[in-house]
Amino acid sequence: MWFSGPFLSYGHNNTYTLYIIITKKKRGFVNFFLNFKNLLKNHAKYSIIDVIFFEGSSRMLETGIKGLLTETVTEENTAAAVGSGSLRVYATPAMIALMEKTALTSVAEELEDGMTTVGTLITAAHTSASPVGSTITCESELVEIDRRRLVFSVTARDDAGEIGKGTHERFIVDCKKFFEKTCSKLNKS
């Protein structure tokens, strides 16, 4: 059986929540579910919680998954060292890489074996400089799931406060297929 539910639960404020659990990939049903979800967005009495189970596993992705990573600002990750500026301060590309890594690692254990996520979009502001020796802490939260597309809210802080924040999108891919497709670019003439 690939479909369980739907389960309708009555919540506070006279609202209903619809839970749909998919245990196998069935494109037709997934598309129906997504269209149904969009249809209900405009009805105040209903909300849908996205819950996606991957085939053959009890692992699941759901919004709210959080990640946390830290790193120290060293000479190697300054703007002067990576070429994004001339000062010895934490480089914007280093902050972006930490944001991506935090999102990646936050969901990695929830994916099927042989699957990973790849970054496809990041929109971020780097609002404060951090000197060498600072500790940078990055937090991510999975805020949206749209089939294979995952959207994260990301925030970076140093010892004095927030230094950057933004939104990051990643896609779930099969490692082998993705790598084969990427390497096939070399064989095209």
Query: Pick from 161, 85, 164: which is nearest to 123 by CA?
Result: 164
Query: Pick from 178, 58, 181, 170: which is nearest to 112 by CA?
Result: 58
Which residues are catalytic, by number? Answer: 92, 100, 126
Query: Pick from 156, 149, 142: which is nearest to 98 by CA?
Result: 156
Residue 100 Cα distances to 92, 95, 154, angstroms: 12, 9, 9
Report the chain's C-alpha Rg in angstroms. Answer: 20
Residue 16 Cα distances to 6, 8, 10, 37, 115, angstroms: 12, 7, 5, 13, 34
Cβ-contact 21, 60 below 8 angstroms:
no
Q: State the Cα torsion 73-78-82-86 to the nearest 10°.
A: 180
